[in-house]
Structure 1
Amino acid sequence: MPQLVILGMLCGLFTGLIILAFRFVISWPLEQLLPGGDAENFEAISQLWKFFLPIAGSLIIAVILISVSYEHSRVGVPHVLERLGYHQGQLPLPNVIVQFITGALAILFGHSAGREGPAVHLGAASGSLLGQWLKLPNNSTRMLVGCGTAAAISASFNTPIAGVIFAMEVVMMEYSVIGFIPVTIASATSALIMQLVLGSETAFVVPAFQLASLTEIPFVVFLGFVIGLLSLLFNHTVLLTVKNVRIPLFVRLILAGLFTGTAALFYPQIMGLGYDSVTQILHGDLGLQLLLGLTLVKLMITAVSIGLGVPMGLIGPTFFIGAAAGATLGYLGGYAVDIPVSEIGFYAMLGMGAMMGAVLQAPLAALMAVIELTHNSNVIFPAMAATVTASLVCRQFFPAGSVFQAILVARGLDWRRAPLDSVLERASVTSRMRNNFVQRPRMLSVKDAQAALTAETEWLLVYDESSDENEQPCKLLSAADLQLYLDQPQESDTVDLLEIPGLRKDLIPIHSTATLKEALRALDQHNVDVLYIVSNRKIAANSNPSVSLISATNRTTLRGILLRDDIIRFFTDRQEL
């Protein structure tokens, strides 16, 4: 447990520093270039700049993405989920660099973008690269991916609890006690870094709201229902764009810039992060007609841009859309009844949480984000009602899961995992390996064979000195079979461990960083029942580092053995708990 605490702190520290750098790369140029030194004041630039900035940004991003390999152009939360599901959380460094640059460019050039998606990729990669550098087992690297994700969300909004829940609800898609502690420490460490440098203010300035009367609860539920329909429209628009727009990436990005630039001529508030507009909405400073237009335009431009491949985040835009939609409904509700109701900003805040929870299918993370952003316990009950209703509506008509999961499925990658896989990938091979064996050459004297049979020995790893691969064990022999043979009269002074009667098991090597899921896959692929676990070996450039075989010339350290029965027993024990 102390090691997990230290790893969580290191991951939170690294992630906090990287997110700090990412935010600086975005805010400093905008403060120098936009009118009034306001990093979000896109509204004050000329119409010409509003139109051409997103197009120019798309052009630069397109040049970068087509200049790197396809594998290194994959970025964002879907990429993190893909690497977790198919590559044990091993995130490549080139993708991180591409995400840092292109994610910043999308915001700098006024795309309807959020910084949280790129931040999640950067944070998750910080944890993954830390695990790879320390040569940790793959299950520990997966845990560090969760730590980095939580730290990224915490640093983005100054919401450490929401960061923890987001990591487990959206990225890891599981809750575990052993993982909760380092993830929490990473999130808290990252929040501390941001507060030391930037202060303790949250991303939005939120007034102290409360529900005016319990008679408004039905309207709050209705708000959740409408937000659920909007989230459904958002998710379907993203998915349809991903599936049906089959044109080159360069053209897709230029189209995204063209759409954004055209919309910005009429609604410049959609450009950039839009946090200033969200704050205005929360204070009730925008009118009904503008709010209605912003809701629809921001939703469609953001969804289409993401579907076309702009490397940007969507959590911030869901807050914007939810705030605008909630405020719109607040205005309409106030007009419909002749009694005092809650403030417009109150409904905007409920809409923020409901939209985020529905689009990401993360109602608990959204609820905690609302609570931490407002520092107001009075919003818990209405926020729960709106967020849960919106999530249920979206879930009912969009069963693919979150928008990130839907994008993965559209790419032909199934994020859903069988219960067996989910259990086995949480444990490393070293946690279940056996050490009750001895390693012996094929030919032994009777005296040496008897000496090998100690009380602790249950297995013999046999290697053939005459083979070209004499450094590798070639068979696993039961000590009981050798004992049975030695109990019989011997006609020779030597014992051939590969010829005496007994059951000999074939075996292959696996690296000590592998998980039990990888171990089971290796056993199935090679049709064997035993693995011997090694470390300090060379890996071929195109091989799977967990299951590739070892050449006789590589220097290895034998750590233990693992039988198929050990893996099955581990899964059975977990199912009985």
Structure 2
Amino acid sequence: MAFEKRQTHWPTRQLDNFRARLAHADALPQLAILGCLSGLLTGLIAIAFRLSFELPLSILLPNGSESFEDLPAWLRFSLPLGGALLLGLIVHRLKPEQRAVGVGHILDRMRHHQAQLPATNMLWQFAGGAIALLSGHSVGREGPAVHLGAASSSLLGQKLQLPNNSLRTLTACGVAAAIAASFNTPLAGVIFAMEVVLMEYTIIGFIPVILAAVTGGVLSRIVFGDQPAFAIPLIDLVSLWELPYLLLCGLAIGLASTAMVLLYRFSGRFDRYPLLLRFLFAGLLCGSVAIALPQIQGVGYDTVELALTGQMALWLLLAVAAAKIIVSMVSMGLGLPGGIIGPNFVIGACLGGALGLLGDMLHPGESGSSGFYAVVGMGAMMGAVLNAPLAALIAVLELTYNPNILLPSMLVIVIATVTCRMLSRLPGIFSIDRDLQGYESPLFQMLSRSGVTSLMRSNFVHHSRHLPTEKAKTLLENKPEWIVIEDVGEPKFILKPADLAHYLEALASETDEPEAIDLREIPGERWRLFPVHHRASLQEALLTMQQNNGQAVYINQAAAPLMSEVAGIITHQDIDNFYR
């Protein structure tokens, strides 16, 4: 039996054309529009998340949203414990796959699920992150904001039924907009999205991500103002003779970063224990340490400000850095839904400030201020732990509006990042316990940028397995590239028209022609077709072929009676030619 082409109405065709255009790697105008929409949506969600804990804390705490130090000791102990209990009761109702949050979850969905982030995890991230910050846990606000931005943008694309290759770009747009809205650092958001999430730098990727970051940053400035996160005076190197000491500082921060990464990985090994028990331990740890060192609680940007302005003693700087490493890494390693970037800044600022004070003791008056070393330490810690040296450098520049720190920061960030990677043997904290093998490969990146509808071949004819001999020549009149052999409930195959033509030539010399030809039995090369969704990327098509040891896939479309499911065909050779 032959199959008819599906007929669609004009509005549906226009929407299909828009989606089909997005399947191409060079759909810049369409991606630019989506980047603006992503930035708008992400900016609103990131602002709502920030206000969800800052407003209550500004009312409940004596001197503002970060003044946990002003609370009595019993309350500093009780708050994290009560928050952990509440988080444990909530997460107990979630399925294991619904509990994954953070940047590592985003990378996992990018690698294995074509950037399709689920809504349930997003809601858990919003509620869990807000509760953790409200109860004074030693976590950051940026990780949850990044997850919320990526998930909201991905869900926007899923709602519009966009091809999966464009979901990758939309997810990166959400990441950039979230960082821009949280930090007021749009350029750092762009670099972080390209360096950590997409893991590539392309013009087609940059432009929509930049538009999303600008949109998110503008919304943030409307609500929170346009002042830098940390107000410090212009500081600089006193002398180039400080460079050898800065190199030693890079090594020291690299060692501390390694300790953070390894402690996080070690804490993650306790995942066999119930989450409620793990959360209670994290709350008990945080509350106990906070009795003596309340500076570890909350986002901690007030502590960063003190370190940058040189208002903390050496012993306090070292104590806060050590305690923050232990409490933050153990808490997040045990599954607490908080962010890692904020603790990085606190630890880096305190450790860098301590190194600055030590340098001044060794060479009084000949080294930079402790605030200068605190700024450099912030960038180095972020770059080493996240494996994002360029994003860390730009973030420090935008956070301080101080160009004098660029040269020394470049040196210290590189030394710390290399040290951490060599000692931990891990490409950043987000790769821990994540199967990201092949994610950075050029083949994966190129094929993930294009959808199957951009490469599929539609010049083919359909017919059932048994073809009447008198209709065979008619089937070949339009010179199709393939003959699709499909019967209801049977596997689909493709046959080269030349093989059917050769068979007809051989029949012409025989006196007794059969009434019908079995297209599954005549001599020729037949490939079985395996289905892929019309929103799939070329990477998914290639993976489908590899998993089934096949040579071709067909793009699946919703079929009605007398309509074929096959909308297009892609062979392994087509993908090879595209890549080459």
Q: Calculate the TM-score normalised by the size of structure 2.
A: 0.90
Asked if the contact 1:273–1:317 (Cα under 8 Å) also holds between the matched residues in 2, the reply is yes
Q: Residue type of the partner of 2:569?
A: I
Asked if the contact 2:230–2:399 (Cα under 8 Å) also holds between the matched residues in 1, the reply is yes
How many angstroms does 1:555 deviate by?
A: 7.5
How many angstroms does 1:567 deviate by?
A: 2.1
Corresponding residue for residue 485 of structure 2? 462
> SS where residue 531 of structure 1 aligns?
strand
> What is the rounded CA distance, in whole Å, between the counterparts of 1:366 and 1:528 in structure 2?
44
1:247 aligns with 2:273: yes
Q: How does 1:44-443 map to 2 (within 5 A)?
A: 44-244=70-270, 246-406=272-432, 408-409=433-434, 413-417=435-439, 419=441, 420-443=443-466
1:15 aligns with 2:42: yes
Asked if the contact 1:534–1:556 (Cα under 8 Å) also holds between the matched residues in 2, the reply is no
Asked if the contact 1:476–1:505 (Cα under 8 Å) also holds between the matched residues in 2, the reply is yes
How many angstroms does 1:307 deviate by?
A: 1.4
* Residue of 565, 570, 574 corresponding to 1:566: 574
Corresponding residue for residue 482 of structure 1? 500
> SS where residue 137 of structure 2 aligns?
coil
How many angstroms does 1:343 deviate by?
A: 2.0
Corresponding residue for residue 517 of structure 2? 496
Q: Residue type of the partner of 1:515?
A: S
* Residue of 14, 17, 26 corresponding to 2:53: 26
> What is the rounded CA distance, in whole Å, between the counterparts of 1:463 and 1:232 in structure 2?
57
Q: How does 1:514-553 map to 2 (within 5 A)?
A: 514-536=536-558
Deviates more, 1:207-216 or 1:417-426: 417-426
Corresponding residue for residue 3 of structure 1? 30
How many angstroms does 1:234 deviate by?
A: 1.0
Asked if the contact 1:475–1:505 (Cα under 8 Å) also holds between the matched residues in 2, the reply is yes
User: Cα distance 1:24–1:244, how it changes in 2: closer, same or farther (>3 A)?
Assistant: closer
> What is the rounded CA distance, in whole Å, between the counterparts of 1:553 and 1:358 in structure 2?
58
Q: Residue type of the partner of 2:541?
A: A
> What is the rounded CA distance, in whole Å, between the counterparts of 2:531 and 2:380 in structure 1?
50
> What is the rounded CA distance, in whole Å, between the counterparts of 2:218 and 2:141 in structure 1?
19
User: Cα distance 1:204–1:418, how it changes in 2: closer, same or farther (>3 A)?
Assistant: closer
Asked if the contact 1:91–1:129 (Cα under 8 Å) also holds between the matched residues in 2, the reply is yes
Q: Residue type of the partner of 2:461?
A: V
User: Cα distance 1:342–1:432, how it changes in 2: closer, same or farther (>3 A)?
Assistant: same
How many angstroms does 1:34 deviate by?
A: 0.8
How many angstroms does 1:119 deviate by?
A: 0.9
Asked if the contact 1:207–1:282 (Cα under 8 Å) also holds between the matched residues in 2, the reply is no
Corresponding residue for residue 3 of structure 2? none
User: Cα distance 1:76–1:452, how it changes in 2: closer, same or farther (>3 A)?
Assistant: same
Q: Residue type of the partner of 2:476?
A: L
Structure with larger RCO (C-alpha < 8 A, sep 6+)? 2
> SS where residue 92 of structure 2 aligns?
helix
> What is the rounded CA distance, in whole Å, between the counterparts of 1:70 and 1:140 in structure 2?
28
User: Cα distance 1:222–1:94, how it changes in 2: closer, same or farther (>3 A)?
Assistant: same
> What is the rounded CA distance, in whole Å, between the counterparts of 1:359 and 1:486 in structure 2?
67
Q: Residue type of the partner of 1:437?
A: F
> What is the rounded CA distance, in whole Å, between the counterparts of 2:563 and 2:294 in structure 1?
62
Q: Residue type of the partner of 1:81?
A: L
> SS where residue 461 of structure 2 aligns?
strand
Q: Calculate the TM-score normalised by the size of structure 1.
A: 0.90
How many angstroms does 1:175 deviate by?
A: 2.5
Asked if the contact 1:458–1:480 (Cα under 8 Å) also holds between the matched residues in 2, the reply is no
Superimposed CA distance per residue, residues 428-479 of structure 1 (whole angstroms, 9 cap, x where no aligned partner):
2222211221223445556643333346522111334xxx43xx88331211
User: Cα distance 1:473–1:395, how it changes in 2: closer, same or farther (>3 A)?
Assistant: closer
Asked if the contact 1:59–1:254 (Cα under 8 Å) also holds between the matched residues in 2, the reply is yes
How many angstroms does 1:252 deviate by?
A: 1.1
> What is the rounded CA distance, in whole Å, between the counterparts of 1:42 and 1:553 in structure 2?
67
* Residue of 511, 536, 539 corresponding to 2:533: 511
Asked if the contact 1:405–1:415 (Cα under 8 Å) also holds between the matched residues in 2, the reply is no
> What is the rounded CA distance, in whole Å, between the counterparts of 1:443 and 1:269 in structure 2?
78
Asked if the contact 1:206–1:373 (Cα under 8 Å) also holds between the matched residues in 2, the reply is no
User: Cα distance 1:535–1:245, how it changes in 2: closer, same or farther (>3 A)?
Assistant: closer
Residues matched between the structures, number:
548
Corresponding residue for residue 541 of structure 1? none
Asked if the contact 1:81–1:415 (Cα under 8 Å) also holds between the matched residues in 2, the reply is no
> What is the rounded CA distance, in whole Å, between the counterparts of 1:447 and 1:127 in structure 2?
55
> SS where residue 433 of structure 1 aligns?
coil
> What is the rounded CA distance, in whole Å, between the counterparts of 2:211 and 2:286 in structure 1?
39
Q: How does 1:444-463 map to 2 (within 5 A)?
A: 444=467, 448-454=471-477, 456-463=479-486
Asked if the contact 1:532–1:561 (Cα under 8 Å) also holds between the matched residues in 2, the reply is yes
Corresponding residue for residue 542 of structure 1? none
Deviates more, 1:76-85 or 1:252-261: 76-85
User: Cα distance 1:569–1:110, how it changes in 2: closer, same or farther (>3 A)?
Assistant: same
Asked if the contact 2:438–2:444 (Cα under 8 Å) also holds between the matched residues in 1, the reply is no
Q: Residue type of the partner of 1:503?
A: E
Superimposed CA distance per residue, residues 283-334 of structure 1 (whole angstroms, 9 cap, x where no aligned partner):
1122222112111111111111111221110101100000011111111111
Asked if the contact 1:138–1:515 (Cα under 8 Å) also holds between the matched residues in 2, the reply is yes
Report the RMSD for the aligned CA atoms in angstroms: 2.2
> What is the rounded CA distance, in whole Å, between the counterparts of 2:558 and 2:229 in structure 1?
46
